[in-house]
Amino acid sequence: MDSSSNSNATQPEVLETVTLADGGIVKKILRQGSGGDETKPLGGTEVTVHYVGRLLDGSVFDSSRDRREPFKFTIGEGQVIKGWDQGVATMKKGELAVLTCQPEFAYGARGSPPKIPANATLEFEVELLSWSDEEAVTGDNLVMRKLIKKGVNHLSPNDRAIVTVKMWARVKGAENKFIDEEKLELDLSDLSLPEGLEEALKDMHIGDRHLVSIHPEWGYGAKGNDKYTVPANAHLEYDIELVDFKNGKETWEMTQPERIAYGLSLKEIGNACYKSGQLRRAMKRYDQITKLFKGDLNDPDIDPSDKKAIQALEASTFSNLAACSLTAKQYDLTIDYTNKVLAQDSSNVRALIRRGKARAYLNMWDESLGDFEKALILDPSCTKEMGPIFQTVKQKMKALRDKERKVFGGFFNKVNLVSAAIGIGSV
């Protein structure tokens, strides 16, 4: 145990005293941390600390050191008392300090029975061990960001926004920047933007400044970018400050015809993404369409032509989602999407073929063959679209039936002989 955690030990020399929150918090620095002011954790950062909590008489009421387990919390999210949220935010990595917190910045008039009485001023010896200064923008952790400066606005751009940014960009490890602009306008619906940059910008607020790291899969990929002379499979780095943005019209503000027109535009963008191999981006656009018309088809006052247009758009969207998920080898999703298409049109040959393929990849041979055979009845010329997997399914089913005959054939022959011997005719 660190000697500084022992209430009876001689306390280290106080190097500096800082008064915060108009005297509500007093910080006495016992050991300086490393780095400058830019190395202090910002709001939203998860920090790891060791601490010892004492009453003013020196008695310890809580200690992570005694438990031999550091404590983690996120700055600015109300997970801890105000004295910690505000006090730890002023610390540098490695800093050791005592935070003296007045009751209103601790547990207030209620206290925290039985160890902390009402209206108690508390002392916390806190050591800031580390923090995670990066957080994931995407679920696969291939787009990461570090907050450099927090803005004040809480609104974010939507997928049709025109954003104004101050930004530089470079290939990771390179000295030269391929973008270095004090004021740059970007259209978030522009498919030439790296997908990771689009996702990072949609998660920012005005005044935010982030360092963003983008894996090739979310950047320019295997093609690179000739305009910016970015090579293939390049890891990208951006320094972005969001200056302003103007959002496109929100869907809830749109009339029914406007939503249909927007849905059709999303379909066109999705189709372009699919053709260029951007499956994830395509599926996002198609998925947006599926959320556009929730409950609209049940509206008794809906215009019949609008209803017909929505039904056609939804059917083609689920068909496109099935194509994307099949290409992405997400076979369970393919079956879900084709089921939705076939619920509206049971004779949709393309949906039957896609479901047949997905079922085959999941070793659902019997169901797969049923889909393919029904598709053939509806369109005898569709064997080319089925591809080699149709022959594989037929071979698998033949092998399974041959095996069943070998296993059960002798059994049924014996049953027939016994039946004949006792005079029971076949049913």
Residue 288's CATH number: 1.25.40.10
19 and 114 share one domain: yes
Q: What is the pLDDT of residues 212-237, one digit of tens each?
A: 999 999 999 999 999 999 999 999 99
**115 and 69 part of one domain:** yes
- Mapping DSSP to helix (H, G, I), strand (E, B) and coil, where does residue 9 land? coil
Instruction: Tell whether 356 is covered by a domain.
Output: yes
Does residue 364 lie within any of the structural domains? yes
Catalytic residue among 25, 29, 105, 107: 107
pLDDT range class, residue 402, cuts 50, 70, 90: confident
Q: Pick from 246, 274, 294: which residue ends a domain? A: 246
Q: Is 419 within a domain? A: no
Q: Beta strand pairing status for 60-63 and 46-55?
A: antiparallel
Residue 332 designated active-site: no
Please indicate whether residue 203 is annotated as part of the active site. no
Do 128 and 144 fall into the same domain? Answer: no
Catalytic residue among 51, 105, 372, 390: 51
296 catalytic, yes or no?
no
Rounded Cα–Cα distance for residues 393 and 278 (Å): 30
pLDDT for the residue 219: 97
Of these residues, 75, 105, 116, 124, which one is catalytic?
124
pLDDT at 283 over 80: yes
Q: Strand pairing partners for 164?
A: 185, 244
pLDDT of residue 36: 66
Q: Is 51 among the residues known to form the active site? A: yes
Q: What is the DSSP letter of 3?
A: G
Burial (CB count within 10 angstroms: exposed 0-12, middle 13-18, buried 19+), residue 412: exposed
Considering the domain boundaries, does residue 41 fall inside one?
yes
Q: Does residue 262 sit in the same domain as residue 390? A: yes
Residue 273: give the domain boundaries: 251-395
Q: How many CB atoms lie within 10 A of CB 176?
A: 8
Q: pLDDT digits over 168-224, tens only?
A: 999 998 999 999 999 999 999 999 999 999 999 998 999 999 999 999 999 999 999
Kindly calculate the radius of gyration of the chain based on its CA atoms and give it in whole angstroms.
32
146: left (phi over 0), alpha (psi -120 to 50) or beta: beta
CA 89-133-214 angle, 5° bins: 150
3-state class of 108 per DSSP?
coil
Question: Does residue 105 have an active-site annotation?
Answer: no
Domains identified in the chain, total number: 3
Burial pattern 358-379, b for ≥16 Cβ within 10 A else e, equals bbbeeebbebbbbbbebbbeee
What type of residue sits at position 1?
A: M
**Pick the catalytic residue: 81, 116, 240, 335?**
81
Please identify, among 132, 149, 169, the residue that sits at the C-terminal boundary of a domain.
132
Catalytic residue selected from 62, 133, 244, 287:
62
Contact 252, 268 (CB under 8 A): no
Report the alpha-carbon distance of residue 323 to residue 279 in Å, rounded.
10
Q: 230, 246, 262 — which closes off a domain?
A: 246
- Residue 411 falls in the annotated catalytic set: no
